[in-house]
Amino acid sequence: MRIHFSGLSKQELARRETLFHVANGYLGMRASFEEGVPTELRSVRGTYINGYYDSAPIHYEERLYGFAQTQQSIVNIIDVQGMDILLDGERFSCFEGTLDNFEQQLDMRRGVYTRDITWTSPKGKQSRLVFSRLASFELQQLLLMQVAVTPLNWSGTIRIASSQHGDVVQDYDLNDPRKASVGKKMIDVKEAVIVDDLMLMTAKTTQSKLIMASAVAHQSLAELQRGYTAKGEVNEAVFSGQIKENEPLTLSKYCVFTDERRFAQPREAALKLIVQARETDFEGWVKKQEDFLRAFWRHAGASVTGDEALNASLTWSMYTLLASAGRDGIGNIASKGLSGEGYEGHYFWDTEIYMFPFFLLTNKDIALQLLKSRAAMLPAAKAHAREMGHQTGALYAWRTITGSECSAYFPSGSAQYHINGAVARAFLTYYQVTGDLAFMAKTGAEILIETARLWMDAGHSHKGQFRIDSVTGPDEYSCVVNNNYYTNRSAQDHLKGLVKLCADLQEQGLLDQVIEKTGLAQVELDAFWKAATSMYLPFDEELGISAQDDAFLTKARMNLANIPKDKFPLLLHFHPLYLYRLQVCKQADTVLAHFLYEEGEPEEVIRKTYDYYEEITTHDSSLSECMFSMMAARTGQVEKAFSYYRASAVLDLEDTHGNTADGIHAANMGGCWMGIVFGFGGLRLHQDGLVFRPCLPDELKGYAFSITYQGNLIKVRVDSQAARFELLEGQGLNITVFNQQHMLKDTLSVPLNG
């Protein structure tokens, strides 16, 4: 369970900083070199706290009512990575002298990243340096670093200057709308001091005025002289002494971060936590990582056989999802996780549709915290609804950190009302999978009611049909349309699911507390049900397919074969209005609706709809190929499904979109897991339970995955002969495999041909 690269590539520095970043859901640190790199090379040196942000006004030359007013951006916080190393007077650098060996590895069983180097200095002195890092899953405020230096053909002096640096700026790109356009400084250092043998620094964001603190301590068994200095925005600890040939010298660096959103007094909390952290040595923290990950992999393990590269991608995807997900009800999952500043650290619908299913079926505790994070945004969602002209209900922001809308381009931002459906689906499927009615009564029902009220205010009844006009669906190449199929279908599922939930709450005597909190009345529930059952879902009788919206199929089709490859993604080369006038899709839209809401949909419609939209989809979004893989498997096109799946799974490890340097594609990682479980495994969460339609592409020998449903831990193994289901924990349950219901009490084997 490792990803590994050999050799140093100057052109790949930033990409590998992303691939080997360490994170734990609260903290993330890119894999920048401790000793630094030449300024002419691209390196994004960054450390981030989930949900710690700065804000700035959004400037419009022509600002209209209701446009988003404030931008929020994840902050590149205090830099603690620096270690300047002098070996017998020569400064270590991977860009001077000779690299005899250079290896980078992330061990996903131990939760440790290592950089193993054999280096010969310009004067011919050879040394081995092993840098190790971890972001603790046990103590989430802790990042731990270590360097082990071994002289191989010399003895002499060593000097390590370890720094804590507050003069940091954001990454930027003037030509990419997915990144900030200004490399500005977002934190001001308020205090940089030495407290006994600790380096302490506090800072405040320039606009949001949020305080953070960083405390750094060191540990070494060697006899070293120590000196500490604090100057301006830099604290430094210098360790010097003698080192002998073939005898390793190790220095560990403990780095604690706290922020005002979690701690009332970040400075005091950091000092307390750093004392706690250094009571355990580096190997002790590694042991804690191993214990945590052992439990994680038992419930989250998924694998493929027959393609080691795919298996590595799948494992890395699951591990990185864990590293990216907030676990405190404050942080959610940024679209780049905690690996970079792409999309400015914003949370999108990506969480609920592409990443939440992984946690829902493997780690319900994290799934619950993600829901609590959304629940905390409800006041901001209500305020956003009022900004958008709605007198009632809540509209979740399209892109945000705290809940307020941060998208300056409303056609592909605030107009994407379907985020309400994504949030609703997460709460409803959580209830289905866990049966946690108490949480739904306390928290979930209110979210579902307020977001349902938004649908009622946004839509209207016309000739007996409930219609929702002027919205944007998942396909951002068609904006502000009437009756987007995906949006209407998600609203329908939301409204029906809420009515059924309220019936369950009533049966258990829990509805009264929901009514008291929300003012819900029976007449309102009746209106929800009427809107759901009369929902207008566009359909083209001639083609026999679900129409993406009222006008989409009347437009001219874009001939994608005539578009030069260097013009993709289209959003970087064509004006939005040009794209809006054509039948061309950025990603799965109606096809995604058939994935999520297949119950009651005719098989022929699902297949024809998939085939039609596949021909006009560019997959310019990293959310697309994984979905087309799953639906290709669903429609019996298994080899096509594998082709899409492989393209999706290796997106970051092979940098197929050319922007992994900016951070991971977290939603695609969720899609990598879903591609096995929901794609080849054919899993669907139907109202009456789990449904499986497993298949196996010729390129794989088999695959396996584990899921937990209603307290039952199930292991699924598929090979060329059969799909085998094993109950590892729980009382047993009914499952449907190839339209045949079975009672799973211990093991079950079903021939793969159904």
Cis (ω within 30 of 0) for the bond into 266? no
Position 573 scores a pLDDT of 95
Class of domain 301-362+635-754: mainly beta
> What is the structure's pLDDT at 178?
52
Q: How many alpha carbons lie under 13 Å from residue 260 in its C-beta half-sphere?
A: 11
- Model pLDDT, residue 753: 76
Question: Do β-strands 712-719 and 249-259 pair in parallel, antiparallel, or remain unpaired?
Answer: unpaired
As a whole number, mean pLDDT of residues 562-589 equals: 96
Is residue 21 within 8 Å of residue 43, measured between CB atoms?
Answer: no
d(CA 197, CA 216): 9
Can you give the residue ranges of every domain in the chain? Answer: 2-296, 301-362+635-754, 406-618
Phi and psi, residue 82, nearest 5°? -65, 130
As a whole number of angstroms, the distance between CA 193 and CA 124 comes to 39
CA atoms within 13 A of residue 368's CA, in its CB half-sphere? 14
Alpha-helical segments (H) within 418-568: 418-434, 437-439, 445-458, 485-507, 511-518, 522-533
Superfamily of domain 2-296: Glycoside hydrolase, family 65, N-terminal domain (2.70.98.40)
Contact indicator for 165, 82 with CB cutoff of 8 Å: yes
* Model pLDDT, residue 172: 67
pLDDT at 451 over 60: yes
Q: What percent of the chain has pLDDT over 90?
A: 96
Cβ atoms of 405 and 68 closer than 8 Å: yes
- CA 241 – CA 36 distance, rounded (Å): 22
Tally of CB atoms within 10 A around 185? 15
Q: Angle at Cα 623 formed by Cα 619 and Cα 629, nearest 5°?
A: 75
406-618 classified as CATH 1.10.3720.10: no
* Token couple for 181: 């356009």
CA 391 to chain centre: 33
CB 382 within 8 A of CB 450: yes
Answer yes or no: is pLDDT of 71 > 80: yes
Q: Which residue has the tokens 């695609």?
A: 668
Extract the tokens encoding 288.
């804690």
Residue predicted with more confidence, 146 or 173: 146
- Which structure tokens are listed for 180? 């900030």
pLDDT 10s digits, 404-424? 999 999 999 999 999 999 999
pLDDT value of residue 687 = 93
pLDDT at site 184 = 86
Bridge partners (DSSP) of residue 73 are: 54
Average pLDDT, the chain: 96
Mean pLDDT on 292-309:
96
Q: Residue 98: name the closest of 152, 45, 176, 59 by CA.
A: 152
- Distance (Å) of CA 415 to CA 26, 28, 397, 409, 721: 30, 31, 10, 9, 48
Please, which pLDDT band fits residue 176 given cuts at 50, 70 and 90? Answer: low
Q: Under 8 Å CB-to-CB from 554, ≥6 apart: which residues?
A: none
Q: In the predicted model, what is the mean pLDDT of residues 578-591?
A: 98
Angle at 374 between CA 180 and CA 509, to 5 degrees: 175
**Could you tell me the two tokens for 141?**
């405020």
Length of the chain, please?
Answer: 754
Residue 738: its pLDDT value, please? 96
Q: Buried b vs exposed e over 597-621: b needs ≥16 C-beta within 10 Å?
A: beeeeeeeebbbbbebbbebbbbbb
Distances (CA, A) of 181 to 170, 208, 339: 10, 19, 19
pLDDT of residue 242: 97
CB atoms within 10 A of CB 223: 8
Model confidence at 54, pLDDT cuts 50, 70, 90, reads: very high
For range 603-626, the mean pLDDT: 97
Give the separation between CA 672 and CA 588, rounded to whole angstroms.
Answer: 15
Model pLDDT, residue 175: 59
Copy the structure tokens of residue 394. Answer: 């809540």
CA 178 to CA 175: how far, in whole Å? 9
**Of 35, 236, 341, 476, which one is the catalytic site residue?**
476
**Would you say 344 and 659 are in contact if contact means Cβ atoms under 8 Å apart?**
no
Q: What is the pLDDT of residue 293?
A: 98
Neighbouring CB atoms inside 10 A of 313's CB total: 24
Backbone torsion region of residue 704, taken as left when φ is above 0, otherwise alpha when ψ lies between -120 and 50, otherwise beta: beta
CB 302 within 8 A of CB 704: yes
Residue 347: which residues within 8 A CB-CB, separation 6 or more?
A: 332, 333, 334, 335, 399, 400, 401
Q: What is the mean pLDDT of residues 550-569?
A: 96
| pLDDT tops 90 at residue 181 | no
Provide Rg for the chain, Cα atoms: 27
Percent of the chain with pLDDT over 70: 98
Q: With contact defined as beta carbons under 8 Å apart, do 745 and 727 qualify?
A: yes
Give ∠ CA 695-699-705 in degrees, rounded to 5: 50
Place 61 in a pLDDT band, splitting at 50, 70 and 90: confident
- Name the residue with tokens 């929702």: 468
Check whether 347 has a pLDDT greater than 60.
Answer: yes
Please report the pLDDT score of residue 481 as a whole number. Answer: 98
Determine the 3-state secondary structure of 561 from DSSP. Answer: helix
What local confidence, expressed as pLDDT, does residue 155 receive?
98
What number is the average pLDDT over the span 127-155?
Answer: 98
Buried b (16+ CB within 10 A) or exposed e, 320-331: bbbbbbbbebbb
Give the mean pLDDT of 703-728.
98
HSE value, Cβ hemisphere, 13 Å, CA-based, for 452: 31
Distance CA 723, CA 682 (A): 11
pLDDT tops 60 at residue 492: yes
Mean pLDDT on 553-578: 95
pLDDT tens string 190-226: 999 999 999 999 999 999 999 999 999 999 999 999 9
CA distance 748 to 731: 15
Residue 250 one-letter amino acid: T
pLDDT the model gives residue 595: 98
The stretches of 278-355 forming alpha helices (DSSP H) are 282-300, 308-324, 350
CB of 630 within 8 A of CB of 640? no
Count the alpha carbons within 13 Å of 669 in the hemisphere toward its beta carbon. 30
Mean pLDDT in residue range 577-589: 98
HSE, CB side, 13 Å, CA atoms: give it for residue 264. Answer: 0
Residue 533 has φ and ψ, to the nearest 5°, of: -75, -15
Own/partner pairs, 649-657, CB within 8 angstroms, 24+ separation: 649/310, 649/313, 649/314, 649/317, 649/675, 650/309, 650/310, 650/313, 651/622, 651/625, 652/18, 652/19, 653/3, 653/19, 653/309, 653/312, 653/313, 653/316, 655/15, 657/622
Number of other CB atoms surrounding residue 41 within 10 Å: 11
354/325 Cα distance (integer angstroms): 13
pLDDT at residue 250 is higher than 90: yes
CB contact at 8 A, 468 and 487: yes
The yes-or-no verdict on residue 174 having pLDDT over 60 is no
User: Given this model, what pLDDT does residue 62 score?
Assistant: 83
223 among known catalytic residues: no
Check whether 754 has a pLDDT greater than 60: no
> What's the pLDDT score for residue 214?
98
